[in-house]
Copies of this chain bind each other. A is one copy, B any other.
Amino acid sequence: MKVLIISADNFEDSELLYPYYRLQEEKIDVDIASIATDKIKGKKGYEVNVDKRIDDVDPESYDLLILPGGKAPAVLRKVNKVIEIASHFIKNNKPIAAICHGPQILISTGLLSGRHATCYMSVAPELKDVGTNYDDREVVVDGNIVTSRKPGDLPAFMRETLKLLNS
């Protein structure tokens, strides 16, 4: 079992750290991938080491993709390889968990039409614009896609993500 977290500077700290520590608690291998090569820094100042450059990621090697929020997804959604990786997970029905601004990356795949999802309040209009059914709930699970709105949703977000991973 191996998990990929894709993020960048200005991530929402708790939305990266909570899943990262939670998966380690389960003794699951986690790689953090980014456009930076050394460390990335959250909005609140936490730093985490980058394990992989985005360009070196083979999505076939991973069983779950996690997309934390903050300001990172607005940058990452413009990176072709990030969209390729997210598309690989959606098309192959592999688990994806995106929270807050994380779903912006899923929107940019163009593969979210007709799906059910949630996201940070300010992202909701563009989620609806691409034909996604938006629900204002702490967590929405649609097949292989788990989405949540904000840090306070992290308990429900990881409860459902781990349920999906172990199913």
Residues of B within 8 A of A22 (CB): 22, 25, 155
Q: Is A14 an interface residue (CB 8 A)?
A: yes
A22 to chain B, nearest CB (A): 7
Whether B24 lies near A155 (C-beta < 8 A) is yes
Residues of B within 8 A of A13 (CB): 13-14, 44
Given contacts A14-B17, A18-B17, contact A158 B25 (CB under 8 A): yes
Number of copies: 2
CB-based nearest B residue for A153: B21
Q: Mark A36-51, 1 if CB is under 8 A from B, else 0.
A: 0000000011100000
- Say which size band chain A's interface belongs to: 10 to 19
Partner of A44, one of B21, B24, B45, B154: B45
Q: Mark A3-40, 1 if CB is under 8 A from B, else 0.
A: 00000000001100110011011000000000000000
Q: Which of A's residues lie within 8 Å of B, judged by CB?
A: 13-14, 17-18, 21-22, 24-25, 44-46, 151, 154-156, 158-159
Shortest Cβ-Cβ A-B pairs, 5 listed: A24-B155, A25-B155, A44-B44, A21-B154, A21-B155
